């Protein structure tokens, strides 16, 4: 029986990328269908898919495109018998399995990482991230390519491997900062920041929902924690991260989103009688201490915290806690809830 082959659109769906990306890899880097004849439709064999999967994995881990292509071609052209680099087997559904072993494809299994390539690359073609690790460089490339599928996969993989705090501090935050610097210097890249922010909010929001799902009940406190951005603050990704981290600890949250008016914040405090309120400010111009002093008094009382670099120079009322990091926030909010 002839070996099943995938069309460009089928191969793109398999990898979760755009068909145009596959054509670019073929044209620029020679990663394409090995048996393609001029004038005929491109068809990807099992070995071609193995090569594409290895290139995609290398890109997501921070390798430059040319290096990733060279790694993928070399690995597939000279596989070890029985190794994950051997040409993949094709199952009854026409999907490939790396190495011919009983393993899932690229979405479920991690092909071997290209260790020689990951130390190079310098942070991507357009983002300056001195000292950033390979995961951050890979995330930067995926964000600049507007490749939300790869962004989500890379962040999820980092969380599974290194946890929430390390993923935020070492992977996501450096990329967001670099995109912000790029926008400040050139006026370009707002769309990249929006895409990355939405992906991060989605990933961390899914973790928050899973932590309090009915099938895995988490004992939530009677009084929740309110998380809100200041009235003119639009950046709320850190609040999504904090909500996920608190959910892991069994702390119930109510996330009120970006640019919450002061009167709406006061109404939410009265209606929920929270254990704690966290107000986020990214920029100094959004950090308004009068919003803090204007919060209503309730019985029982609640703790008030501020978080974010916008508060660095602000003069705050006595008794307001300043959260300096995710770990600090988790510990101090957890203690406030348990009192």
Within this chain, domains 1-102 and 129-211 share the same CATH topology: no
Nearest to 326 by CA among 169, 136, 206, 160: 169
- Contact criterion met (CB below 8 Å) for 314 and 287: yes
Mean pLDDT value across residues 145-154: 91
What pLDDT, on the 0 to 100 scale, is given for residue 274? 93
What pLDDT, on the 0 to 100 scale, is given for residue 59? 74
Q: Look at the domain 1-102 and name its fold.
A: Multidrug-efflux Transporter Regulator; Chain: A; Domain 2 (1.10.1660)
Q: pLDDT tens-digit profile of 157-173? A: 999 988 999 999 999 99
What pLDDT, on the 0 to 100 scale, is given for residue 40? 61
129-211, which class in CATH? mainly alpha
- Contact criterion met (CB below 8 Å) for 152 and 74: no
Q: What is the pTM of this model?
A: 0.64
Residue 335: exposure state from Cβ atoms within 10 A (0-12, 13-18, ≥19):
exposed
- CA dist 71 to 16, 91, 314, Å? 20, 25, 51
Give the C-alpha separation, 228 to 6, whole Å. 48
Q: pLDDT tens-digit profile of 223-254? A: 899 999 999 999 899 999 999 999 888 888 99
Is the pLDDT score of 49 beyond 60? yes
Nearest to 257 by CA among 277, 287, 275, 237: 237
| Domain ranges across the chain | 1-102, 129-211, 217-338
Output the average pLDDT for the chain: 78
What pLDDT, on the 0 to 100 scale, is given for residue 219? 52
What pLDDT, on the 0 to 100 scale, is given for residue 186? 81
Q: What is the DSSP letter of 264?
A: H
Helix (H, G, I), strand (E, B) or coil at 115: helix
- Contact criterion met (CB below 8 Å) for 118 and 62: yes
Is the pLDDT score of 105 beyond 60? no
Is the pLDDT score of 124 beyond 50? no
**Distance of alpha carbon 92 from its chain centroid, rounded?**
33
Q: pLDDT tens-digit profile of 184-230? A: 788 888 899 999 999 999 999 998 888 765 554 555 446 899 999 99
- Cis peptide leading into residue 172 (ω within 30°): no
> What number of other Cβ atoms are within 10 A of residue 330's Cβ?
19
Architecture of the structural domain at 217-338: 3-Layer(aba) Sandwich (3.40)
Mean pLDDT value across residues 15-21: 76
């Amino acid at each position: 029986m002839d070996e099943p082959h995938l069309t460009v659109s089928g191969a793109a769906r398999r990898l979760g990328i755009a068909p145009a990306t596959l054509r670019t890899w073929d044209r620029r880097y020679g990663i394409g269908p090995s048996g393609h004849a001029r004038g005929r439709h491109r068809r990807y064999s099992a070995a071609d898919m193995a090569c594409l999967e290895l290139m995609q994995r290398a890109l997501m881990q921070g390798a430059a495109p040319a290096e990733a292509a060279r790694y993928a071609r070399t690995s597939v052209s000279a596989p070890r018998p029985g190794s994950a680099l051997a040409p993949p087997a094709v199952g009854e559904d026409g999907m490939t399995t790396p190495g011919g072993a009983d393993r899932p494809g690229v979405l479920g299994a991690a092909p071997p990482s290209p260790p020689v390539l990951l130390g190079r690359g310098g942070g991507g073609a357009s983002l300056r991230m001195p000292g950033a690790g390979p995961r951050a460089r890979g995330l930067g490339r995926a964000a600049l390519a507007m490749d939300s599928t790869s962004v989500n996969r890379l962040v999820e993989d980092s969380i599974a491997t290194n946890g929430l705090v390390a993923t935020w501090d070492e992977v996501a935050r450096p990329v967001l900062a670099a995109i912000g610097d790029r926008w400040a210097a050139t006026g370009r890249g707002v769309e990249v920041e929006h895409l990355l922010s939405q992906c991060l909010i989605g990933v961390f929001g899914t973790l928050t929902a899973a932590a309090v799902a009915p099938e895995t009940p988490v004992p939530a406190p009677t009084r929740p924690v309110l998380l809100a951005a200041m009235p003119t603050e639009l950046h709320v990704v850190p609040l999504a991260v904090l909500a996920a981290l608190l959910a892991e600890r069994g702390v119930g949250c109510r996330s009120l989103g970006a640019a919450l008016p002061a009167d709406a914040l006061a109404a939410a405090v009265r209606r929920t009688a929270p254990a704690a309120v966290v107000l986020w400010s990214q920029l100094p111009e959004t950090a308004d201490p009068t919003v803090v002093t204007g919060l209503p008094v309730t019985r029982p009382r609640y703790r008030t915290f501020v978080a974010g670099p916008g508060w660095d120079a602000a003069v705050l009322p006595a008794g307001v806690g300043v959260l300096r990091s995710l770990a600090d926030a988790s510990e101090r909010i957890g203690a406030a809830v348990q009192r």
